[in-house]
């Protein structure tokens, strides 16, 4: 009798474990903010995944939420990435041109040596805020698979566009105007 009850408990526990793993799998595949960002490709404007990251240079943190009310260009880069070097002057120019209209450019350095990243930022002359995400924790929520990648966030915190790879001046200007609108 006791053996039968033990067997039943074992079966229930095994079924519960399998059901739990299935739920986890479905949640991971279907849910999360990664699929939200992917919605951009089908014309949706999902909320930009939030982040709070340490500054690459100096102390303090950079939080996306703190820029609510402004348009934000979030550019993912690394010092070993050649296209990142090529587009660097365009991003700096955009920051200087549009900052008075309420634009912030945020560079997010990831999967990179911090010493190399600081040297790179100095070489290219970036003056806008630079955040450091060495382990690449926010690459997943933004579905970033390669560098550079650039996202455009409007004043209400919604993503309005993304550019995979090196940006052109036209693409940058067009999408900044969209984010500022």
Instruction: List residues binding other proteins (CB under 8 A).
Output: 78-82, 111-114, 116, 134-137, 146
Closest distance of CB 142 from other proteins, Å:
15
**Are the CB atoms for 159 and 168 separated by under 8 Å?**
no
CB nearer to other proteins: pick between 71 and 81: 81
Q: Residue 125: CB partners within 8 Å, gap ≥ 6? A: 88, 92
Q: How far is the CB of 84 from other proteins (least distance, A)?
A: 11
**What strands lie across the sheet with 103-110, from one edge to the other?**
130-133, 103-110, 71-77, 149-153, 159-164
Q: Determine the 3-state secondary structure of 51 from DSSP.
A: coil
178 touches 160 (CB < 8 A): yes
Q: Which is nearer to other proteins, 3 or 29 (CB)?
A: 3
Query: CB of residue 72 vs other proteins: minimum separation in angstroms?
Result: 25
Cα–Cα distance measured from residue 29 to residue 177, given in angstroms and rounded to the nearest whole number? 34
Which of residues 109 and 150 has its CB atom nearest to other proteins in the complex? Answer: 109
**Two tokens, residue 10:** 């074992």
| Whole-angstrom distance, CA of residue 161 vs CA of residue 19 | 38
Between residues 4 and 69, which has the closer beta carbon with respect to other proteins? Answer: 4
When the beta carbons of 112 and 154 are compared against other proteins, the nearer one is 112
How far apart are CB 144 and other proteins at their closest, in Å? 11
Least distance to other proteins, CB of residue 81, Å? 7
């Amino acid at each position: 009798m006791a053996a039968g009850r033990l067997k039943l408990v074992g079966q229930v526990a095994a079924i519960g474990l399998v059901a739990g793993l299935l739920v986890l799998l479905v949640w991971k595949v279907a849910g999360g903010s990664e699929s939200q960002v992917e919605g951009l490709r089908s014309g949706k404007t999902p909320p930009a995944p939030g982040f709070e990251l340490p500054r690459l240079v100096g102390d303090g943190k950079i939080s996306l939420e703190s820029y609510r009310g402004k348009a934000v260009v979030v550019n993912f880069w690394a010092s070993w990435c050649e296209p990142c070097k090529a587009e660097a002057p365009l991003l700096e120019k955009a920051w200087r041109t549009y900052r008075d209209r309420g634009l912030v450019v945020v560079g997010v350095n990831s999967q990179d040596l911090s010493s190399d990243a600081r040297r790179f930022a100095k070489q290219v002359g970036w003056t806008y805020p630079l955040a450091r995400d060495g382990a690449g924790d926010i690459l997943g929520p933004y579905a970033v698979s390669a560098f550079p990648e650039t996202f455009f966030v409007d004043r209400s915190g919604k993503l309005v566009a993304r550019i995979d790879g090196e940006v052109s001046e036209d693409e940058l200007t067009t999408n900044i105007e969209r984010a500022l609108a």
